[in-house]
Amino acid sequence: MTTHAKPVAPALKTLVIRLHFYIGLLVGPFIFFAALTGTLYALTPALEQALYRDALTTGSDSASATLARPLSRQIAAAQDYLDDSALPSAVRPAPEPGATTRVMFADPSLDAGEHRAIFVDPQSLEIRGDMTVYGTSGVLPLRRIIDQIHRSLMQGDPGRLYSELAASWMWLAALGGLAIWAVTPSPRVQPGKQTRTARRLRTRRRHSLLGLFLLVGLLALSATGMTWSKYAGDNFFTMLKAAGWGTPRVSQSLQAHDVAYDAHADHAMPGAHPTVSGSLEAFDAVERQAREAGLDAGKIELLVPGDNQAWKVREIDRSWPSQVDEVAIHPQSFQVLDQVSFNDYPPAAKLTRWGIDGHMGILFGLPNQLLLASLGIGIMTMVGWGYAMWWRRRALTRDSQTLWQALLELPLSVLALISLVALLLGLAMPVMGVSLVIFLTVDALRTLVAARRRATG
């Protein structure tokens, strides 16, 4: 007796087409909104430079760095402005002549990662600005609002599910579109023909060609976007750490370096005092020691230590070439206890750093931002064309084959392999996994409706 194997290729093609359709129909709005807000985010740096020019630049006649007052004096000016002797949590010295110093204070009323920043003229000690800043990149209020909308719809952790949903599916939509283009003949439409079918075929051709043009960008945005996500991002960094590919950091723990801290001990550097006593000269000593240790970037940040901790000073210039070295400095002897150089990062950590900074539009400055804006506009256009195609053939889709029908036509071995891959992807990207279950549930209901229609027809 001869048995015939089920044909795999037609069922796989149907499966990919139907999955691509569901991603576009159900996830498309989230991808569109993420692209819209991401485009706005990419275009804001230049706008912020103009909007916050008074705070970011000095009012001094001279732009010479040699006329800058010691960092301790600048911090004291910020304390006087606030009428508060509390120490800042971090300080960012003026990165270049003509720029202001940021003295950053913790504020319990602010969200995690946010600081109240006082912008000080390094020469005249004039207070040039007072506003909330966010993150290592020092995002200012306008960009912070757009960032919150882009990342979480301003709804905190629950809102982050929307952006994770978009990032989790965009790479698969892009690869699915590539597969469909590869196995489907390019539609030929007579020039000038304006029937519904002709318009749909033209839109399909544009949709496919634009997707091919943007393919690398779509994959890059999806991958880097997931590194920020709540669930897939945590899994990603857990994997990197387990493999020894995580981003190295200096240790601020004095116990880890087997050194002690004595608040009553004499100090190795004349005139420098531990920050716990409220004295500010330690900031000058720490900045000087960090420079001598090789931190030569214009943009650096001094992080004030807590109890039994060392100072941490880090470079924060994430443009190209990246300058993100950091050192840990003893709070009394000002000895360098630990140092990490970007050159010593594992390759995976370097790629992660570059990928995230490229996603934020920092890595290559204005060209990077224009590229992101173009990519975002392209993604929104593709989603719009996808909905146009669906609208013009929606009557046909009611009777098209469903996901379940395509799955059941596959050989058992292929179905088992696809199920295993889906399970692994769902574990690595839980939002994708849950949404896939929703897709299959919707598809099952649609299958039942189609079956009843045929039975009663």
Whether 79 has a pLDDT exceeding 50, the answer reads yes
Give residue 270's pLDDT.
38
Spatial CB neighbours of 239, under 8 Å, sequence gap ≥ 6:
none
Per-residue burial over 405-419, b if 16 or more Cβ lie within 10 Å, else e, is bbbebbeeebeeeee
> pLDDT tens for residues 311-329?
999 999 999 999 999 999 9
Residues 136, 113: Cα–Cα separation, whole Å: 8
Mean pLDDT score of the chain: 88
Whether 451 has a pLDDT exceeding 60, the answer reads yes
Whether 161 has a pLDDT exceeding 90, the answer reads yes
Residues 269, 286: Cα–Cα separation, whole Å: 10
Q: What fold, for 248-344?
A: Nuclear Transport Factor 2; Chain: A, (3.10.450)
Give residue 137's pLDDT.
83
> pLDDT tens for residues 211-245?
999 999 999 999 999 988 999 999 999 998 898 89
Q: How far is CA 1 from the centre of its chain?
A: 59
Give residue 377's pLDDT.
97
pLDDT-based confidence at residue 396 (cuts at 50, 70, 90): low
Helix or strand run (H / E) with residue 415: helix 412-428
Q: CB of 247 within 8 A of CB of 345?
A: yes
pLDDT-based confidence at residue 62 (cuts at 50, 70, 90): low
Selection from 201, 165, 175 nearest residue 186 by Cα: 201
Q: Which amino acid does the sequence have at 327?
A: V
Q: What percent of the chain has pLDDT over 90?
A: 69
Give residue 266's pLDDT.
41
Residues 261, 282: Cα–Cα separation, whole Å: 15
Give residue 135's pLDDT.
87
3-state SS class at 230: coil
Here the tokens at position 165 are 């949903």
Which residue ranges make up each domain of the chain? 8-43+151-239+370-456, 53-139, 248-344
Output the pTM of the full model: 0.88
pLDDT-based confidence at residue 391 (cuts at 50, 70, 90): confident
Q: What percent of the chain has pLDDT over 70?
A: 89
Selection from 298, 331, 333, 295 nearest residue 313 by Cα: 295
Query: Among 103-117, 183-197, 312-326, 332-346, where is mean pLDDT lowest?
Result: 183-197
Give the mean model confidence (pLDDT) for residues 73-88.
96
Residues 250, 122: Cα–Cα separation, whole Å: 29
Q: How far, in Å, are 172, 309, 313, 342, 429 from residue 169 at the CA level? A: 5, 43, 38, 32, 10
Here the tokens at position 97 are 């002549």
Selection from 213, 252, 185 nearest residue 382 by Cα: 213
Residues 30, 37: Cα–Cα separation, whole Å: 11
Burial label, 137 (beta-carbon count in 10 A; 0-12, 13-18, 19+): middle
Query: Among 1-10, 25-34, 404-413, where is mean pLDDT lowest?
Result: 1-10
Beta-carbon neighbour count of residue 131 at 10 Å?
15
Helix or strand run (H / E) with residue 275: none
Give residue 398's pLDDT.
57
Q: CB of 283 within 8 A of CB of 89?
A: no
Give residue 52's pLDDT.
96
Give the mean model confidence (pLDDT) for residues 451-457.
74
Helix 232-242 vs helix 196-227: angle between axes, to the nearest 10 degrees?
50
Query: Among 107-121, 155-169, 187-201, 247-261, where is mean pLDDT lowest?
Result: 187-201
Give residue 101's pLDDT.
97
Residues 366, 137: Cα–Cα separation, whole Å: 15
> pLDDT tens for residues 264-292?
444 444 333 344 334 899 999 999 999 99
Give residue 134's pLDDT.
93
3-state SS class at 260: coil
- Alpha carbons within 13 A on the beta-carbon side of 311: 30
Burial label, 187 (beta-carbon count in 10 A; 0-12, 13-18, 19+): middle
Q: How far is CA 64 from the centre of its chain?
A: 36
Q: How far, in Å, are 198, 311, 385 from residue 188 at the CA level? A: 9, 67, 18
